Structure 1
């Protein structure tokens, strides 16, 4: 597995070693010892989640705050997405900066997103099945988020505005300006 640290400290693109032959392919999607070697600590993933969405869907930007914060290891098992991580750690030199990575069933890339980050993705294929591991359970009271179309963050979701499908909850989410001034 090849690990590429993004400009956001602790946020890694992971490229697996894929073995292909006439039968298909095989790759190791997760190895605790390799992750410990990359991160410098052993993540304790406690929950797996999966979603399926159609073209134009944007999910995010979401996070859980405080003691319920989550690190995530995300990948796509069908289709393709633009996956986005935003550094929401107020003491970080990259606070408010983001990375966007295309994850697809074809490229088999994964993104490790540390605790303290906002996360979202847009579906750029006809449909996509998105899978992720979390190192902390879901806690509704700790939910936080930013409108994915926030002008200050200015994220390019790769979807024309008239084709975007965004939940009411995400459309009504706070601005980054309000978030950073809490």
Structure 2
């Protein structure tokens, strides 16, 4: 097996660690393989890949798309280090409003699978970070939505005292008041 799949406290969110093949030249690893992901419960067909570059203390999120254009995400860090977060926004879920967070970096090579029905965000811990994420539905501006990053009902422990937030991300409503069609 070329990957280790670890279900987190919210078991639908999965931390994925590849096997590295290293020598004096560096290393090689597979970052995604349909057959292995599928045999471990992730049968997602990715149709778009996104890249973001951010500086230290940037928080991006909490973002999601509404049904019918909802997205699962596979998040990886190409350079730098982030604190990656998934929030369960499925209204009938036993873990509704709960969050999980993991450190993803170019050093640990881990990825986070964030399924449909979750809001996603991250905080940059290094001076800069390049984040690559695959999604299983194309971006749809009409279905874009989000939750305010510092919603007190969710209470995410963001690892920064000086967050840099976009105007748009600062305008999102609380989870309670968000436009959310996930049951």
Structure 1 stretches of at least 4 aligned residues deviating more than 4 Å after TM superposition: none
- Residue number in structure 2 paired with 1:12: 14
Considering fraction of residues, name the structure with more helix.
Answer: 1
Instruction: Specify the SS of the correspondent of 2:35.
Output: helix
- Residue number in structure 2 paired with 1:36: 38
Distance, in Å, in 1 between the alignment partners of 2:121 and 2:6 is 20
- Residue number in structure 2 paired with 1:145: 146
Distance, in Å, in 1 between the alignment partners of 2:45 and 2:179 is 29
Instruction: Specify the SS of the correspondent of 2:177.
Output: helix
Distance, in Å, in 1 between the alignment partners of 2:179 and 2:68 is 18
Distance, in Å, in 2 between the alignment partners of 1:131 and 1:96 is 25
Q: Which moved more, 1:85-94 or 1:98-107?
A: 85-94
Q: Does 1:93 align with 2:81?
A: no
TM-score (norm 1): 0.95
Distance, in Å, in 1 between the alignment partners of 2:170 and 2:65 is 18
Does the aligned pair in 1 maintain the 2:66–2:180 contact within 8 Å? no
What RMSD, in angstroms, separates the aligned Cα atoms of the two structures? 1.4
* Cα drift, residue 129 of structure 1: 0.0
- Residue number in structure 2 paired with 1:63: 64
Q: Does 1:179 align with 2:181?
A: no
Q: Which structure 1 residue ranges, 5 or more long, are not aligned?
A: none
Query: After the TM superposition, which residues 67-82 of structure 1 pair with which residues of structure 2 at under 5 Å, given as runs?
Result: 67-82=68-83
Distance, in Å, in 2 between the alignment partners of 1:181 and 1:100 is 21
